[in-house]
Structures are given as structure tokens and as C-alpha cells.
Amino acid sequence: MKIAVLPGDGIGTEIVAEALKVLNVLDLPFELETALVGGAAFDAHGHPLPDATLQLAKDADAVLFGAVGDWKYDTLDRPLRPEQAILGLRKHLGLFANFRPAICYPQLTDASSLKPELVAGLDILIIRELTGDIYFGQPRGRRIATDGHFPGAEEAFDTMRYSRPEIERIAHVAFQAARKRGSRVTSVDKANVLETFQFWKDVMIDVHADYPDVALDHMYVDNAAMQLVKAPKKFDVLVTGNMFGDILSDAAAMLTGSIGMLPSASLDKNNKGLYEPSHGSAPDIAGKGIANPLATILSAAMMLKFSLNQPEAAARIEAAVSAVLSQGLRTADIWSEGTQRVGTSAMGDAVVAALTASNTTLKS
Ligand code: NAD
């Protein structure tokens, strides 16, 4: 099992270190190779996604990714900015399906910004299309101002577009995922205003014909944002485009208590994947040792399940995370009165201890 480890920038290095501690106690034949990506790669090699890093990711069975970005790179030309590394990896590896399960652990209902009764037992799956939409549409750019300079540009534009095959393949992924859960798909669009999303809706309906056992409904994205904070448990699988998915999944993160709890998997058509927490590099807390590593640890569990065919090891990690929360351990982002505040490293150690204890229990 070859895993490319790309920690990246900011808290990326801190949280990936904790996920590696967890993987290392599993006693599975991993081959881990680490490479620079994002701002760290730009500093060392002048590019956020060096060829060697991309090749490592292509050759691996799975990629474990931390996060990239820092405000200090904001003045770089866009192709050189750290965020281009993750966009490039998604594009080059064909990672079109992003799975973001939003699960509210019973121990964390108090950490959610919503009333406990709204989130208790929450288990929804957001599937975001990842390689199309306005993020990759052409043309894009700024119109040069009459004086010929960008700083004085008078207009900027990005093009929203989706092709039929792009929508079809994400629709199949969503319907198949729903079959393994509650058999309901909500397709989120903006068909009332945008041609691209009327087309999205039409193709969703076409593909649905292959899945008569799965219920499909449609919701405008503005209503979906409202429903996610009003009655989130009414969703089962929510499927949407790249930009709406980006925004809605961050909103859903808060239902679970913190964005530091939300793992993600980005998969290609063969279930090879890149696994990363849903959050960014959090420059505001980087280096302080307080970041929550659980989203990354849970992303490693998704990696074992989806790409490495180790569902039992994945379940053990998930149980260990739950055990640690039951012990009352909390990083700052999920801390509440009566619980014990711990740092990044102590949280990782606690998950390792819970895993080791479960192993002892299994053996005895
Ligand atoms: P962010 O997700 O990094 O941070 C948002 C807020 O959540 C911050 O207050 C941060 O402290 C907090 N937070 C995030 N992760 C946390 C964790 N594990 N534990 C505790 N608190 C956590 O988003 P941002 O501040 O908008 O962006 C920061 C940088 O990250 C930018 O350069 C952005 O482009 C980049 N980014 C990268 C990715 C990625 O690598 N896939 C995704 C999103 C943002």
C-alpha cells in the first residue's frame, strides 16, 4: 500500500503528523513517502506542485494531504499560488468526486452552533463535483483597462460550464452512494437562474432513470443553505457542483461542531483517492499546537476504506476517535465547559492509545 504523504503548509504539517502516528500503530504494510506541496514547495522549488510531487501522487495507491496556503503568497501570480497545487492534483489525478460526510458525534452535540436536537444523530453525505464548474471553466480573466494595466482592470470574469459526461459520472456516484445509505439524493442547483444548472438538473433526471430504487429531489442552492441550518437531518445524500459544494460543505462542517472534525475523500473513477481534512491551512493558529487533527485522522480512515480495502482498520480508527471524545478530550475548537482541553499532539496520542487499547481488547 503505497501512500504519498503531502503535509503542505500551516497546520497541514501538524495534523498530518498525528494521522501518521495513527497509521503507524495499525501494523499494516504501508509504504509512506513524503513530498513538499503548496507554499512549502514554492519556497523550495519555485512551484506549488513540482513534477516530482505530482509523479509521487500518480504512482501511489492513495494520497494523504494536509492543507496548503498562507496569506504571504497572496501577491504571487495565480498559477504559482499554493492553492493551485490542490487544484492541479485534482485535475491531473482525475479526482472528480468529493465525499464529505458530515456526522455529528453524540459527544459533540454541544459544540455545534445549532441546537443539540437539530444535530443529534446527524449523518449526511455531501458529494461535491470537483473538476468542473466555474473553477475550471474557460475563458477566465480580467479585461485590461484602457490604460493597459491589470491593476486598473474594469472587469473580471470566470465561466461556469459543465459537460454532460461530467454531470453523468457524478450523478452515478451519488445514486450508488445513496444505495448504501438511506436511498435518497437531493440534487442542489440554481436552475431557476443559471443555464448550466438547468442542464445539471436535466442530466440528473436522465441518470435517475437507472436508479428507480433511489428517491431524487431537487433544491435551489439558496434554499439548501437555509435547510442545512434549519433541518439538516432531512438530507441523506446531497450532490452538487464544485462551487456550491465548496460553500455548502463548509456550512455543514459547523453542524458537526467544527471544521476540524470534517474529513474528505476525493476519488477518481477507480476509487483511487486523495484524502484531506475539509479545512485549510489555518495560518491564524499554525505553529501553536492547537489545531484539531481529528478531520485528518478520519480522512486517513476514509483512505483505508475507499482506496486501500481495509474497512476493519478504518472502523477501528473511527471507534478510537469516538472513544477519545467520550473520554472528554477536546481541542480548542470543540472545547466546552466540563471537558478537558488538549493540544494537537496530545489528541493524536490519545487516539493512538485508544487504538492500542482496542487491539489489546481484541487479542484478549
Ligand atoms: P481555514 O479552513 O484554513 O480556516 C478557517 C477557520 O477555521 C480559521 O479560524 C481556522 O483557525 C479554523 N480551523 C481550520 N482548521 C482547523 C482545525 N483543524 N482545528 C481548529 N481550527 C481550525 O480557511 P481560511 O482561513 O479561509 O484559509 C486559510 C488558507 O487555507 C488560505 O490560504 C486558503 O486558500 C487555504 N485553503 C486551503 C485548502 C486546501 O488546502 N484544500 C482549503 C481551504 C482553504
pLDDT tens profile 118-147: 999 999 999 999 999 999 899 888 876 655
Alpha-carbon distance 20 to 18, whole Å?
Answer: 5
Q: Which amino acid is at 8?
A: G
Alpha-carbon distance 63 to 294, whole Å?
Answer: 17
Per-residue model confidence as pLDDT tens digits over 277-336:
989 999 999 999 999 999 999 999 999 999 999 999 999 999 999 999 999 999 999 998
Q: Does 102 map to a domain?
A: no
Backbone angles phi, psi at 112, to 5 degrees: -70, 150
Tell me if residue 135 is catalytic.
yes
Alpha-carbon distance 357 to 302, whole Å?
Answer: 21
Per-residue model confidence as pLDDT tens digits over 195-222:
999 999 999 999 999 999 999 999 999 9
Share of the chain above pLDDT 70, in %: 96
Alpha-carbon distance 93 to 245, whole Å?
Answer: 20
Alpha-carbon dihedral 76, 79, 80, 85, rounded to 10 degrees: 130
Give the CATH number, domain containing residue 21: 3.40.718.10
In this prediction, residue 305 carries a pLDDT of 93
Q: Does 83 map to a domain?
A: yes
Please tell me if the CB atom of residue 343 comes closer than 6 angstroms to any atom of ligand 1: no
SS3 state at 307: coil
In this prediction, residue 361 carries a pLDDT of 55
Task: Measure 4 CA to ligand 1 centroid, in angstroms.
Answer: 22
Task: Mark which of 256, 277, 298 sits at the end of a domain.
Answer: 256
Task: Measure 69 CA to ligand 1 centroid, in angstroms.
Answer: 9
Please tell me if the CB atom of residue 298 comes closer than 6 angstroms to any atom of ligand 1: no
Alpha-carbon distance 2 to 88, whole Å?
Answer: 20
Please tell me if the CB atom of residue 260 comes closer than 6 angstroms to any atom of ligand 1: yes
Full domain range(s) for residue 214:
112-256
Q: Does 104 map to a domain?
A: no
The residues with which 188 forms a beta bridge, in sequence order, are 219
Tell me if residue 222 is catalytic.
yes
In this prediction, residue 363 carries a pLDDT of 44
Query: Where are the alpha helices (H) located in 25-119, listed in sequence order?
Result: 39-45, 51-59, 83-92, 116-119
Helix (H), strand (E) at residue 239: strand 237-240
Count structural domains, the chain. Answer: 2
**pTM beyond 0.75:** yes
Average pLDDT over residues 150-169: 89
Q: Which amino acid is at 252?
A: A
Q: Does 327 map to a domain?
A: yes
